Structure 1
Amino acid sequence: MAGFWASIIMYFCIAFGVVFGGSMLSGIAAVFTLQSPTEKMLTISENIKIWAMVAAVGGTIDPIRYIESHVALGQINPAIKQIIYIIVAFTGAQFGTSLIQMICKGGHQP
């Protein structure tokens, strides 16, 4: 069970880090290319979310195959764990996007 919780923390942090780090670096790149850093950071944070989830769970199709193969064998627990990992990765990516939005919009959202 300790491995499960370690994986949850890892997936969340990876997805969060991909969104947050990618967005921050895009802001730096925007300064170098004379573009608006806040606009670029907001755009990138939204566009990179799916890739953050993919990076966290380790591939685009492998988690789906894992779920399918275990459900086909009647093993629900491993499939549920994989679904939880995907949800946690999405949550991490969403938190990263929300943090970038708070930074760029001054801490309050409409």
Structure 2
Amino acid sequence: MGDFWSTTILNYFIALGVVLGGTLLGGIGAFFGNEPPMYAMLKLSEQLKIWALVAALGGTFDTIKSFEVHILGGHLHQVFQQLVFILSAFFGAHVGTVLIRWLIQGDW
């Protein structure tokens, strides 16, 4: 069971890191590209959510294949674990977006 929780926590922080890192570096790039960094960062944080999920889960095809194998095999415990991994990555990406909104002080 320890592997389950470590993977869940790892998925959360990978998704969080993708959103925060990509958005902050994208904001620096927007600054050097003579664009308003705050607007670019808000837009990037929303766009990077799906990629954070994909990065945290190691590719969506593996997760979908796992659903198929475990549902057809009757291993619903494994399906529940995959759902928890997906939710963990989603919450990590969402928290990253909320932190970026907080950092730039509101909606742009």
TM-score by length of 2: 0.96
Give 1:100's aligned amino acid.
I
Structure 2: unaligned runs, 5 residues or longer: none
Number of aligned residue pairs: give it: 107
Q: After superposition, where does 1:37-56 map in structure 2 within 5 Å?
A: 37-56=37-56
Q: Distance in 2 between matches of 1:2 and 1:71?
A: 23
Q: Kindly, what percent of the aligned residue pairs are identical?
A: 44
Q: Which has the higher contact order (CA 8 A, sep 6+)?
A: 2
Q: Match for residue 3 of structure 1?
A: 3
**How far is the alpha carbon of 1:61 from its aligned partner?**
1.4
TM-score by length of 1: 0.94
CA RMSD for the aligned pairs? 1.0
Structure 1: unaligned runs, 5 residues or longer: none
**Where in structure 1 do 4 or more consecutive aligned residues deviate above 2 Å?**
none
Q: Match for residue 102 of structure 2?
A: 102
SS at match of 1:105: coil
